[in-house]
Chains A and B, each alone.
Chain A
Amino acid sequence: MSSSWMFIKTIAKKEVVEFIRDWRTLLALVIIPLLIFPALFIALPLLLQSEAAELDALELDVNWQGDFSEELGIAFNDSNIRITFEDMPQNIDNLSDIGDDLDKIRNQETKAIFRLLENESGWKFSIIYLSTSEASNEARTRMITAISTWESNVVNGTLVEAGLVPEDTLDPVKWDGDYQNADAATKGEQAGLALSLFIPMVIAIWTASSAIQPSIDMTAGERERGTLEALLCLPCSRLELLAGKWLAVASITSAGVALQIGGLLFAITYLASSSVIGLPSVSLVSILLLLGAVVIFAVMVVAFELALAMKAHSVKEAGSLLGPAILFIIFPALFTQVINLDSIESWWFAIPLVNILLAMRELLLDRIIFEHILVWLISSIFYAGLAAWYAAKQFNREDLVASIS
Chain B
Amino acid sequence: MTDALLSLSGVAKSFKEVDALTHVDLEIHSGQVVGLVGGNGAGKTTLLRLMAGVMEPTKGSVLFGKNRVSNMREKLGVVPESTGLYSRLTAWENIRYHSRMYGIDDDVAWSRVSHFAKMLDLTEALSRHTKGFSRGMRQKTALLRALAHGPDILLLDEPTAGLDVTSARTVRKLVTQLRNEGGTVIYSTHHLAEAQQVCDRIVIVHNGEIRADGSPRELLELTGKETLEDAYVYLTSDKARNRGEDSKDESRIASWWRRFLTGKTPTISEVIEDE
Contact = CB atoms under 8 A, between A and B. Distances in A.
A229 B93 CA distance: 18
Given A234-B102, A398-B55, A405 B82 contact: yes
Contact of A401 (B54, B87, B101, B248): B54
Nearest to A3: B103
A169 B81 CA distance: 92
B42 to A, nearest CB: 16
Given A3-B103, A18-B88, A231-B84, 16 more contacts: A6-B100, A6-B103, A10-B100, A11-B101, A21-B89, A225-B82, A226-B80, A228-B84, A229-B54, A230-B79, A230-B98, A233-B54, A234-B73, A234-B98, A234-B101, A313-B249
A401 to B, nearest CB: 5
Specify which of A3, A6, A14, A21 lies most central, judged by the most chain B CB atoms within 10 Å of its CB.
A14
Closest 7 CB pairs of A and B: A226-B82, A230-B84, A233-B78, A235-B74, A405-B82, A227-B84, A235-B73
Contacts of A48: none
A284 B2 CA distance: 68
A348 interface: no
Interface of B: 15, 49, 52-56, 73-74, 76, 78-89, 93, 97-98, 100-103, 142, 145, 248-249
Contact of B102 (A18, A235, A403): A235
Interface string A222-251: 000111111111111000000000000000
17 contacts: A3-B103, A14-B89, A14-B97, A17-B93, A18-B89, A226-B82, A226-B83, A227-B86, A229-B82, A230-B78, A230-B83, A230-B98, A233-B78, A235-B73, A235-B101, A313-B249, A401-B55
Nearest to B145: A230
A42 to B, nearest CB: 35
A396 B173 CA distance: 37
Interface in A202-239: 225-236
Contacts of B84: 225-231, 403, 405
Nearest to B79: A230
A399 interface: yes
A14 to B, nearest CB: 5
A22 interface: yes
Nearest to B71: A235
Contacts of A150: none
A233 B80 contact: yes
A401 B103 contact: no
A7 interface: yes
Interface string A18-31: 10011000000000
Nearest to B87: A225
Interface of A: 3, 6-7, 10-11, 14, 17-18, 21-22, 225-236, 313, 398-399, 401-403, 405
Q: Is the interface of A mostly helix, strand, loop or mixed?
A: helix
Contact of A10 (B52, B89, B97): B97
B86 A18 contact: yes
Specify which of B56, B86, B142 lies most central, judged by the most chain A CB atoms within 10 Å of its CB.
B86
Contacts of A234: 73, 98, 101-102
Given A3-B103, A10-B97, A403-B80, A230 B56 contact: no
Specify which of A18, A21, A233, A313 lies most central, judged by the most chain B CB atoms within 10 Å of its CB.
A233
B88 A229 contact: no
B82 A403 contact: yes
A230 B81 CA distance: 9
Nearest to A11: B101
B82 A232 contact: no
B80 A230 contact: yes
A7 B102 CA distance: 9
Nearest to A14: B97
Contacts of A233: 52-54, 73, 76, 78, 80
A401 B85 contact: no
Nearest to B149: A235
Contacts of A232: 54
A230 to B, nearest CB: 3
B89 A17 contact: yes
B113 to A, nearest CB: 16
B88 A10 contact: no
Contact of A229 (B15, B80, B89): B80
Contacts of B79: 230
A399 B88 CA distance: 26
B56 A398 contact: yes
Contacts of A3: 103
Contacts of B15: 399
B101 to A, nearest CB: 5
A235 B79 CA distance: 14
Contacts of B53: 233
Contacts of A402: 249
A401 B83 contact: no
B211 to A, nearest CB: 24
A22 B73 contact: no
Nearest to A21: B88
Given A7-B101, A17-B89, A230 B142 contact: yes
Nearest to A18: B88
Contacts of B81: 226
Specify which of A6, A22, A235, A236 lies most central, judged by the most chain B CB atoms within 10 Å of its CB.
A235
